[in-house]
Chains A and B, each alone.
Chain A
Amino acid sequence: MRPMTMAAGAACVALMFAGSALAQTSPRPNNPNDAIPEASNLPPYGSPINAEVAKKVAAAAIAEAQRRNWNTMCIAVVDPHGELVYFERQDNCQYASISIAQHKARTAARYRRPTLMFENALGKGDNFKYLTTLDDVIASRGGNPITLEGKVIGAIGASGGTGSQDNVVSQAGASSLTATTGSATSR
């Protein structure tokens, strides 16, 4: 009886110790992720972009590429869920960019922010490495939300050049929508 009680007591102590060790996991010093923002300022989702407007957005992106004499771009336009609505591949595009363009668009839609934000955050150091463990992240610029009246109705992704080339083409597409009149969404 007595040895058994002792063993049980030892097990209890061990358990408590393990528990407190977990509870005492301390944050890394000066981790900017410890700050708790008072508000979330990401734009809300709106109705999904329609095919006609998706085509116009892509055309504006392609026009920007052509203006700069680039013939290497893939352009993908997705709905707010990240599902493909429209896609064009220029004639001299590398094959890898077919899926990268779609990935950038998908990520920009599902996270409601430009993929440049992930690229920048990873550049800030170790405290942001966790971002690579999140679903569907691509830390490369070129994916941008398409917003209408402050709401995210889709996203555009460009790939085929340098990240900076991709982003200027992508932004040309995303920013073209403000000039559009009439209904831009499918419902």
Chain B
Amino acid sequence: MKRLSLITLAAAAALMSATAAQAQPAPGAPPPLPEYGGTVTLEQAMKMGNAAVAEAKKLNVHLGITVVDNAGRLVYFMKMDDTRRIGVDLSQGKARTAAATKVPSKAYEDRVAAGGAGLAVLSLGVTASSGGLPIMMNGKMSCAIGVGGGPTGLLDQQVAQAGLDALK
């Protein structure tokens, strides 16, 4: 009997310390993902789209620009003149990826580039290419922007970032 209660006590202590460990992220752990919340208005989406188009014109590139809500549904879309056709699907795919995963679509490009077990992301239906960014409003994730069709993914991401910055 005495021995049993000792074991119970030890188990309880172990459980408590495990809970405590969970509450405090281990050093080096990635920051927690944002909560979904709020919605994007058409006015905000257009503001982002216009800023992205302005940045694209400055860089002399032709792009597809997409804003989706948290569910990945289209709010705003613009295909600039002479955008290569794949830019349409890329921009929408990147926006949906950022909305669905709460992280920039670059995260999946990096995982694929690293190879190994990370290649499993290819089975998730994500667009593993830079240019999709989740967008926070009032501390919560509210929508996502995706840009595609440029010469490199990083350039697409730069244009997406210009769109995001327009909300600040």
Contact = CB atoms under 8 A, between A and B. Distances in A.
Contacts of A186: 81-82
A71 to B, nearest CB: 9
A95 B72 CA distance: 11
B85 A86 contact: no
Task: Select the residue from B39, B45, B81, B85 with max chain A CB neighbours within 10 A.
Answer: B81
Nearest to A81: B85
Given A87-B76, A98-B73, A51 B81 contact: yes
Classify the interface of chain B: helix, strand, loop or mixed. mixed
B77 to A, nearest CB: 4
Contact of B75 (A50, A52, A84, A89): A89
B85 to A, nearest CB: 7
B137 to A, nearest CB: 14
Interface in A39-59: 50-52, 55
Contacts of A83: 79, 85, 88
A51 B41 contact: no
Contacts of B88: 83-84
Given A51-B79, A51-B80, A87 B41 contact: no
A91 B79 CA distance: 21
B73 A85 contact: no
A90 B43 CA distance: 9
A119 interface: no
Interface residues of B, number: 18
A23 to B, nearest CB: 45
Interface of A: 50-52, 55, 83-91, 95, 98, 186
15 contacts: A50-B81, A51-B80, A51-B81, A83-B88, A84-B77, A85-B79, A86-B79, A87-B77, A88-B42, A88-B46, A88-B75, A89-B42, A89-B73, A90-B42, A91-B39
A91 B41 contact: yes
Interface in B8-59: 39, 41-42, 45-46
A90 B69 CA distance: 12
Nearest to B50: A55
B119 interface: no
B122 interface: no
A75 to B, nearest CB: 10
Given A50-B81, A51-B78, A55-B78, A95 B42 contact: no
